[in-house]
Homo-oligomer: A and B are copies of this chain.
Amino acid sequence: MRASRFLFATLRETPNDAEVISHQLMLRAGMIRKLASGLYTWLPMGVRVLNKVEAIVREEMDRAGSLQVLMPVTQPASLWEESGRYVQYGPELLRFKDRHTNDFVLGPTHEEVITDMARTELKSYKQLPANFYQVQTKFRDEIRPRFGVMRSREFIMKDAYSFHVDQESLQETYDVMYDAYCKIFTRLGLNFRPVQADTGSIGGSGSHEFHVLASSGEDDIAFSTDSDYAANVEMAEAVLVGERAAPAKALEIVETPNQKTIEDVSAFLKSEPAQSVKALLVQGVAEEGKAAPVIALFLRGDHELNEIKAEKHPLIAAPLTFATEEQLAEHGLTAGFCGPQGLVEKGIAVIVDRAASILSDFVAGANEADKHAVGVNWERDAQFTEVYDLRNVVEGDPSPDGKGTLQIKRGIEVGHIFQLGQKYSEALGCKVLGKDGKPLVVTMGCYGIGVTRVVASAIEQNFDEKGIIWPAAIAPFEVAIVPMNAHKSPRTLEAAEALYAELQAAGYDVILDDRDERPGVKFSDLEITGIPHRVVIGEKGLDAGTFEYKGRRDAESVNISKEELLAKIAK
C-alpha cells in the first residue's frame, strides 16, 4: 500500500469522550469513528486489523473441525418466545416490527436460530458431534455504551455451537475448542489466560472465559504463580491453611465510641483488621408461609464477601439481599456492632468463612452500641452453624490446585466457552434418533469470541505514550518504509520502491510512505498507528549502504545493513 492512496485519519488530540486507552488510540490512529452512541464505522486502518483477527479466528475454527455458517442478523421473535428469552432478556434485546407488523429482534446471540437449524438438519446420532460457527454482526442495546468498540451496541462475534449425543461428547468438543481458543489468542500475540468462570443464570455445567490481561480490565483474575490454574475471582476457591490456636485471652467488653469501620476499630484497639471478624446480616431462604430468616455471615476483617459464593449456600437467598432494619431490631441486633456471641442461641444461623473460623482471641462487635468484644474465641464464646468459603481470594492465597500462590490481575473477557447442556435443545425440541432408535434431546455447547473487542483489548495490552504497539500478526501493516525528501531525491524514492517491492514479494504487508508530508508527521503517524517496523531511507544511508531501522518498541533507531534489516523484520 502506498500511503498517498491510503486514509491516514490520525488525530493529534485525544477526543474528550474516550475514557479508556484503546478507545482513545483507536480514534487517534484513525481506526474507527463514532456514528452514533455505541455505533462505529471502521476506517481502512481499523478494517485491516479486524480482517487479520477474523482470518486467524476462521483458520483455527476450520482446523478444529467447526463448519462455517451464516445466520441472519434479524431473527423472528417467535424463536425467542420458544426459548423463553423474549421476555427474560430485558431491554438489551432490541425488538422491532417489520412492515407486516411481525415481531423481530436484532440478534445479540444466535442460540435460538442455530437450535432451530439443528432441529431440522440433524436427524441421527450419526451426524453428531456437529459444530457450527459464524462471524457475524450482533446488536446489544446497551443502556450506556462506552469504551468504544469494547462495549458498543453493534459488534462482531465469532460464535460457535456444538451438538452432541451426550455429555462425554460435549466434553470432547469443549476440550478441542479450549485448545483452539488457546491457539487463536496465542497467534493473535496476546497475553491471555483461560479462566474458570461462573456459569451464571444461563445454566449449564462448565465454562471458561478467555481474558486478555490488562490493567483496564473489568474482571479480576486469580492465577497461580506455579501452575496453569486460573479463575475469575468470583469463582476462585479460598483454600483454608493452618488451624485454630487454643484461646489465650479472656473475653472482655471494651468501649469503642463512634468507631464503626473495621479500620477505625482496629486502630482504636491497636489491633489488626485480620485479627477481627465482621458481620454481614443477610436474608435467608424463607420456608413456605413464613418470613425470611436472618442469616449472619462472618468474615475476617480484612476480607471481602464473594456474593456469588454466598448465593450458592442453600440457606442464603439469591440474589443476595441484606437484612432490613426491622429484622435486626426484631432480633436485638445493633448494626455496626454485631458479633457472633449468642446468635445461634437466638436461632440465627451463623455461617463463618474458612479464614475467620481459625481465628483465636479475635475482636468482634459486642452486640451493643459503641462496644466491642476482644479476646473472643469460637466455641468458648461464640457458636457457628457452619464453616463455608464466603470470601474473595486475595494475592498470596494458596492456589486451589496446591501449586504456588495466587496472583490477581485485571482481565478483559475476549472469549467464552460454555457447556449449555440441554437448555435450548429442550426448549426448542432439538432431538435426533439415538443408536437405540429412540429420539434423544441433544446436548449443546457454545463458544464465543468478541472479534471487535479483541482489537481493543490488544491495544489495552500494547501501547505507550506514542500510541499503539501492534502484535505483528494483527498489525495493519508490518513494515513502513519512509524515503526522506522523496519529492526532491529520486535516489531515496527509488531505493524505497525497490525495498517495497522486495518485501512485498517476500510476503510482508508493507506501507510505503510516499506522502508529501514532513518526516515528523510521518513518524508520528506510523508510531500512533503502531506499525512494528520502520525503515527510513536517506541519502547518507544510501552512501553508506545502510538503512535506518527502528522497531516500534525501540527507543532509538539504528543504522544497519540490509541483511540485518531483513533479520529484524523476519523476527
* Residues of A participating in the B interface, judged by any CB pair closer than 8 Å: 5-7, 9, 30, 33, 35-36, 39-44, 46-48, 50-51, 65, 67-76, 91-92, 94, 96-99, 102, 104, 106, 113, 116-117, 120-121, 126-127, 130, 132, 137, 139, 141, 143, 153-154, 516
The one of B50, B65, B76, B99 in contact with A70, judged by C-beta atoms closer than 8 angstroms, is B50
CB of A156 to closest CB in B, whole Å: 8
From A41, A46, A126, name the one whose CB has the most chain B CB atoms within 10 angstroms.
A41
A48–B143 Cα gap in the complex (Å)?
37
Number of copies of this protein chain within its complex: 2
A42–B132 Cα gap in the complex (Å)?
11
The 4 A-B pairs of least Cβ separation, nearest first, read A96-B96, A42-B70, A44-B67, A36-B76
For A126, the closest partner residue in chain B by CB is B516
Contact B67 A6, beta carbon cutoff 8 Å? yes
Contact A47 B76, beta carbon cutoff 8 Å? no
Interface of A is mostly: mixed
Contact B94 A70, beta carbon cutoff 8 Å? no
Contact B72 A39, beta carbon cutoff 8 Å? yes
Once A7-B121, A65-B5, A117-B33 are accepted as A-B contacts, the answer to whether A74 and B41 lie under 8 Å apart by CB is no
For A137, the closest partner residue in chain B by CB is B73
Contact B35 A76, beta carbon cutoff 8 Å? yes
- Known contacts A39-B76, A106-B106, A137-B137, then 5 further A-B pairs from the complex at CB < 8 Å, ordered by chain A residue: A33-B117, A39-B75, A43-B69, A43-B121, A126-B516
A246–B141 Cα gap in the complex (Å)?
77
CB of A517 to closest CB in B, whole Å: 10
Contact B113 A35, beta carbon cutoff 8 Å? yes
A72–B33 Cα gap in the complex (Å)?
11
The one of B46, B51, B97, B139 in contact with A74, judged by C-beta atoms closer than 8 angstroms, is B139
A196–B410 Cα gap in the complex (Å)?
60
Residues from chain B with a CB closer than 8 A to the CB of A96 are: 94, 96-97
- Pull 29 A–B residue pairs with CB atoms less than 8 Å apart, ordered by A: A7-B67, A7-B130, A7-B132, A33-B121, A35-B72, A35-B116, A35-B117, A36-B76, A36-B104, A39-B72, A39-B75, A40-B72, A41-B69, A41-B71, A42-B71, A43-B69, A43-B117, A48-B68, A73-B154, A74-B106, A74-B139, A91-B99, A94-B96, A94-B99, A96-B96, A98-B141, A99-B141, A99-B143, A137-B137
Contact A42 B69, beta carbon cutoff 8 Å? yes
Contact A113 B41, beta carbon cutoff 8 Å? yes
Residues from chain B with a CB closer than 8 A to the CB of A43 are: 69, 117, 121
CB of A139 to closest CB in B, whole Å: 7
A408–B96 Cα gap in the complex (Å)?
44
A340–B90 Cα gap in the complex (Å)?
70
For A136, the closest partner residue in chain B by CB is B137
A126–B116 Cα gap in the complex (Å)?
53
A120–B32 Cα gap in the complex (Å)?
12
The one of B33, B102, B154 in contact with A120, judged by C-beta atoms closer than 8 angstroms, is B33
Residues from chain B with a CB closer than 8 A to the CB of A126 are: 516
A94–B102 Cα gap in the complex (Å)?
12
CB of A42 to closest CB in B, whole Å: 4
A335–B361 Cα gap in the complex (Å)?
113
Residues from chain B with a CB closer than 8 A to the CB of A97 are: 96
A120–B27 Cα gap in the complex (Å)?
13
Residues from chain B with a CB closer than 8 A to the CB of A120 are: 33
Contact B33 A154, beta carbon cutoff 8 Å? no
For A116, the closest partner residue in chain B by CB is B35
For A65, the closest partner residue in chain B by CB is B5
Residues from chain B with a CB closer than 8 A to the CB of A41 are: 69-72, 113, 117
Contact B74 A154, beta carbon cutoff 8 Å? yes
Residues from chain B with a CB closer than 8 A to the CB of A70 are: 41-42, 46-47, 50
